[in-house]
Chains A and B, each alone.
Chain A
Amino acid sequence: MIKMRRLLYHQAINEALHQLIERDPRVFLIGQGVTSPWYVGRTTVGLIHRFGPKRIIDTPVSENSITGIAIGAALAGMRPILVHPRMDFMYYAMDQLANHAATWRYMFGNQFSIPLTIWGIVNRGGGQAAQHSQSLQAIFMHIPGFKIVMPSTPYDAKGLLVSAVEDNNPVLYIDDRWLYNCEGEVPEDLYKVPIGKGIVRREGKDVTLAATSYMVVEALKAAKVLEGEGIDIEVIDIRSLKPLDKEILINSVKKTGRFIIVDGGWRTCGVSAEILSIITTEAYDYLKAPALRLALPDVPAPASPALEKVYYLNSEKIIVKVRELMSDKN
């Protein structure tokens, strides 16, 4: 029997880490702040005391080399979990990620596997501004050679982390600190959520709202409000950007005929651009109105709360967009 409890998102990750490291001697956690009780959003609590410094490796601030070291360890038979507690610093690691992790299998004709989980955390808001706020999923989605997941619930946070660690490829596991206090049902045992599968979070017949990561939470809030206006929203949690579950998106458009993608990254060449392109080419015949997108404006994150309000997406902005889509002209 599956034992379910209600856990917070960060507790689900913490539990997965404990269980994964306990179960498999090849798994270790490496990155900045992993021995700190707070630096990685409380996700690493208790690990250093339980597993010691050989398997819980706090590192110097050398993002590129630490990433290369994790890749090298994966090449030598380990299954590292590499954490970048702020995605902004992953630009330092772009060489090792794009030129090495992503290429090492293809470039040498399938001789190597890199079973590496690269955990990038989006940590934004609160005046953190341009260099502590970025959501870089689109940049990685552009590069062949990765799988990319973005869990939005505690259940998926644990299940996708397990899948990432068991996968024989470099998997980017990207999550948003704004999710860390969300609560949900989580099985106690280890289980997998498949990479490459989206999920319908709410069924509806009028408009499809497809969303990534924390935007799923805001989309669900919006759907609730719109229900009161007689608009029936279907919410799809994309969950896996690569491989992307195109089928679940297209099937939903077949039903609703209206589509909005909501992504917490920038607009130009963003995840939203790629998904719109798929919908407008592969589901064109089913669209009753232009497919739309909500993404961050093409400016760096600002510090002032007044400007953050304009910059970040929320359920109100989603509601406005849905109303626009449902207005007479559409």
Chain B
Amino acid sequence: MKISSINISSEILHKMYVTMLRIRLFEEKVADILSNSKEIICPCHLYIGQEAVATGVCMALNKDDYVFSTHRSHGHYLAKGGDMKRLMAELYGKETGCSKGKGGSMHVAFKDVGFMGSSAIVAGTIPLAVGAAFAFSIQGSKRVSVAFFGDGATHEGTFYESLNFASLKKLPVIFVCENNQYSTHMPISASLADVRIYKKAGIFKMPGIRVDGNDVIKVFEVTRKAVEEARKGNGPTLIECLTYRWRGHVGPSYDLDKGLRSKEELDYWMRRCPIKRLERLMFKLGCLTKDQKDQIYENVKKEVEEAVIFAKESPYPKEDELYKDLLND
């Protein structure tokens, strides 16, 4: 990228850098805990490698815009501004967890920042995001709604139904497909007749854009444009972010021993680390020094450690919690 083409303040670059690092170090910590203890038992789908997507998208949103997420939820949650301690406590199944220990890793939400929940049912939140956008449109509000989903979600009927309805009604919703090229163990070429997911927008008469999902600035810029159009009443956009998850579908393993993917492929993508990439750019632009970088790492590490301590020290939910929160009475 040409430096001259970057129209982003150094403050935003810093925010992006910190956000990506918070996600990365949080997830590395979770991987470490999963590998070395039984403190976390719920299934965790780690976001390592995909940080630029959540970060670039959420940086283009306001606090009162809505985000809906998936089973691979931690990155979206943190990028939208969800509390890190309460996320870790949720993974530990503690009563201080963001979902009071009732959701686990796949079901996190933080309503105060517009993080409206994550579904473990593939594509499950796509119509919910459309519905929220529909409400915003009825209310005459300028808010937008975002559906994050993976490439696997485009195998589901509700993806197509939702795109159709959103475009039909010109709703302020952004469909963000994180194409990490695998749905669980299955490579995308084995499951989609046409792997160009962004092309599916055209049949519903909406813009579809493919972007390098490891380039946080590109993701940010494309989202910013889509959000602008949505707020103007010009309807939805489908953004396909090409990216890669470093770990396996679930848990801390790199999955190289299972014959599901090659070391070469993983190495290729690790060389394209979204955080290193932004770091190099910031060094080049002179808006990040080595000392600042070290300081940011220290701060984030400390924040993650504190989150673990908070989670460990928090109590488990009491038995009678089992029966609470089902209905609003």
**CB pair A60 B164 closer than 8 Å:** yes
B94 to chain A, nearest CB (A): 11
Chain B residues lying within 8 Å of A113, measured Cβ to Cβ, are 328
| Interface residue? B127 (CB, 8 A) | yes
With A68-B162, A100-B119 given, is the CB distance from A105 to B325 under 8 Å?
Answer: yes
Bound Cα distance A309, B303 (Å)? 70
Mask of A71-99 contacts with B, CB within 8 angstroms, 1/0:
11111111000000000000000011001
**CB pair B134 A73 closer than 8 Å:** yes
Using CB atoms, name the residue of chain A closest to B321: A109
With beta carbons under 8 angstroms apart, the residue of B128, B130, B134, B326 that contacts A100 is B128
Bound Cα distance A145, B325 (Å)? 9
**CB pair A54 B138 closer than 8 Å:** yes
Stretch in B29-37, B39-47, B96-104 touching the partner:
B96-104
**CB pair B131 A70 closer than 8 Å:** yes
Chain B residues lying within 8 Å of A95, measured Cβ to Cβ, are 121, 124, 158
With beta carbons under 8 angstroms apart, the residue of B103, B107, B136 that contacts A76 is B136
Bound Cα distance A316, B168 (Å)? 51
With beta carbons under 8 angstroms apart, the residue of B98, B116, B158, B168 that contacts A68 is B158
Chain B residues lying within 8 Å of A76, measured Cβ to Cβ, are 66, 131-132, 135-136, 139, 145
Chain A residues lying within 8 Å of B128, measured Cβ to Cβ, are 68-69, 71-72, 75, 100
Using CB atoms, name the residue of chain A closest to B168: A60
| Interface residue? B111 (CB, 8 A) | yes
| Interface residue? B208 (CB, 8 A) | no
| Interface residue? A168 (CB, 8 A) | yes
Beta-carbon contacts under 8 Å, A97-135 to B: 99-100, 104-113
Chain B residues lying within 8 Å of A59, measured Cβ to Cβ, are 165
| Residues of B in contact, count (CB < 8 Å) | 47
Chain A residues lying within 8 Å of B313, measured Cβ to Cβ, are none
Bound Cα distance A107, B117 (Å)? 9
| Interface residue? B286 (CB, 8 A) | no
B158 to chain A, nearest CB (A): 5
Bound Cα distance A54, B161 (Å)? 19
With A62-B161, A107-B117 given, is the CB distance from A75 to B131 under 8 Å?
Answer: yes
**CB pair A77 B168 closer than 8 Å:** no
Chain B residues lying within 8 Å of A28, measured Cβ to Cβ, are 138
| Interface residue? B259 (CB, 8 A) | no
Beta-carbon contacts under 8 Å, B104-154 to A: 107-111, 116-117, 119, 121, 124-136, 138-139, 145
B191 to chain A, nearest CB (A): 19
With beta carbons under 8 angstroms apart, the residue of A72, A107, A144, A169 that contacts B130 is A72
Inter-chain contact total with CB atoms closer than 8 Å: 148
Chain B residues lying within 8 Å of A268, measured Cβ to Cβ, are none
Bound Cα distance A145, B107 (Å)? 16
Bound Cα distance A112, B325 (Å)? 10
- Which of A28, A60, A69 has the most chain B CB atoms inside 10 A of its CB? A69
With beta carbons under 8 angstroms apart, the residue of B102, B124, B136 that contacts A99 is B124
**CB pair B99 A109 closer than 8 Å:** yes
| Interface residue? A65 (CB, 8 A) | yes
Using CB atoms, name the residue of chain B closest to A109: B100
Chain B residues lying within 8 Å of A55, measured Cβ to Cβ, are 138
With beta carbons under 8 angstroms apart, the residue of B162, B326, B329 that contacts A145 is B326
With beta carbons under 8 angstroms apart, the residue of B103, B135, B168 that contacts A107 is B103
Using CB atoms, name the residue of chain A closest to B104: A107
Bound Cα distance A99, B102 (Å)? 14
Chain A residues lying within 8 Å of B107, measured Cβ to Cβ, are 107-108
Mask of B317-329 contacts with A, CB within 8 angstroms, 1/0:
0000000111111
**CB pair A69 B130 closer than 8 Å:** yes
Chain B residues lying within 8 Å of A68, measured Cβ to Cβ, are 124, 126-128, 130-131, 158, 162
**CB pair B103 A109 closer than 8 Å:** yes
**CB pair B162 A65 closer than 8 Å:** yes
| Interface residue? B202 (CB, 8 A) | no
Bound Cα distance A105, B157 (Å)? 25
Mask of A40-68 contacts with B, CB within 8 angstroms, 1/0:
00000000000000110001101011111
Bound Cα distance A60, B158 (Å)? 12
**CB pair A65 B116 closer than 8 Å:** no
| Interface residue? A177 (CB, 8 A) | no
A68 to chain B, nearest CB (A): 3
A172 to chain B, nearest CB (A): 13
Chain A residues lying within 8 Å of B162, measured Cβ to Cβ, are 65, 68-69
B74 to chain A, nearest CB (A): 15
Chain A residues lying within 8 Å of B129, measured Cβ to Cβ, are 72
Bound Cα distance A224, B127 (Å)? 50
Please give the residue numbers on chain B whose beta carbons come within 8 Å of chain A beta carbons, in ascending order. Answer: 66, 68, 97-103, 107-111, 116-117, 119, 121, 124-136, 138-139, 145, 157-158, 161-162, 164-165, 168, 324-329
Q: Would you list 17 pairs from A and B whose C-beta atoms are within 8 A, ordered by A residue?
A: A28-B138, A54-B138, A69-B130, A72-B127, A72-B134, A78-B138, A78-B139, A96-B124, A106-B102, A106-B325, A106-B326, A107-B99, A107-B103, A110-B324, A111-B99, A111-B110, A145-B327
Please name 17 further chain A to chain B contacts, defined as beta carbons within 8 Å, in addition to the given A66-B161, A72-B127, A169-B329, sorted by A numbering. Answer: A64-B157, A64-B161, A65-B161, A65-B165, A68-B131, A68-B162, A69-B127, A74-B135, A78-B139, A96-B158, A100-B128, A106-B102, A106-B326, A108-B98, A109-B103, A109-B325, A168-B328
Sorted nearest first, the 3 A-B pairs with minimum C-beta distance are A72-B131, A68-B127, A109-B100
